[in-house]
Amino acid sequence: MAKTLEHKTALVTGAASGIGRATALLFAREGANVVIADLNDSGKSVADEINHSGGKAIYQLTDVTRTTDCDQLVQRTFSEFGTINILFNNAGIIRRASVPELTEQDWDRVMAVNVKSIFLLSKRVVPIMAEAGGGVIINTASGWGLAGGPRAAAYCASKGAVVLMTKAMAIDHGRQNIRVNCICPGDTDTNMLHDEAQQLGAEEKSFLAESAHRPLGRVGRPEEIAKAALYLASDESSFVTGTALVVDGGGLAGSS
């Protein structure tokens, strides 16, 4: 039985843990060559896991906010695999603070990791995809890119930017057969979610219980978000572009 991403090459940022890790592993199981990009050296263990399971993966230490790092990442990917069929701009951070509470440094860092990185990598990857006849770009946005949340001004601003940047790119590059979509996860059981509790000074058990207040009564699993990414990366979504796919257990169902 053919694998969904056979003979494809996928570049995944923020792939050392959480949603990125789950997606990298799933893409590899579906036949893709996978490039693991992260600032965390545990990304090497993700690549090792894929290679030991019969897949093919490499790890590249990358600060996605730096032009030189993005250049090196794309150059190495192209050198190793000859093309880039899928770009998953997944790297992201959160700072839980209102505007008066935020430092300028935190504002700049959130916008750089969550938004600028998409610009830097897409700028380099779009020409490669266009020359090859097409490709897929997936960006990680958030439910808070569609509806605001408390004490998360920079994060909400950044993820709202991701949603509209996704739509603008879909318009610009549809004629090049490049589909561009984003995923808007709800609270998902990752290190980021646990870190939010610490940032807010909240008791972790209570914070996670509050995060589960949605129609399905629980937070998401990274593997569930990865399955949404697989759908958008595959030919199953061949007529889908410019979409913000909400995967949040119904958390936004009551929003206008």
Q: Convert the pLDDT of each residue in 53-73 to its tens digit.
A: 999 999 999 999 999 999 999
Q: How confident is the model at residue 256 (pLDDT cuts 50, 70, 90)?
A: low
Cβ–Cβ < 8 Å for 218, 124 = no
Q: How confident is the model at residue 156 (pLDDT cuts 50, 70, 90)?
A: very high
> Could you state, in order of their start, the residue ranges of all structural domains in the chain?
9-186+221-247
Strands 57-61 and 33-38 come out as parallel
pTM of the model: 0.97
Catalytic residue among 81, 88, 155, 207: 155
Which class would CATH give 9-186+221-247?
alpha beta
Query: Residues of the chain with pLDDT > 70: what percent?
Result: 100
Residue 231 bears catalytic tag: no
C-alpha dihedral sign at 31, 28, 139, 80: negative
Task: Determine the Cα–Cα distance for residues 185 and 16; give it in Å rounded to an integer.
Answer: 18
Confidence at residue 224, expressed as pLDDT on a 0 to 100 scale: 98
Q: Convert the pLDDT of each residue in 199-215 to its tens digit.
A: 999 998 899 899 999 99
Cβ–Cβ < 8 Å for 81, 131 = no
Helix (H, G, I), strand (E, B) or coil at 100: coil
User: How does DSSP classify residue 113?
Assistant: I
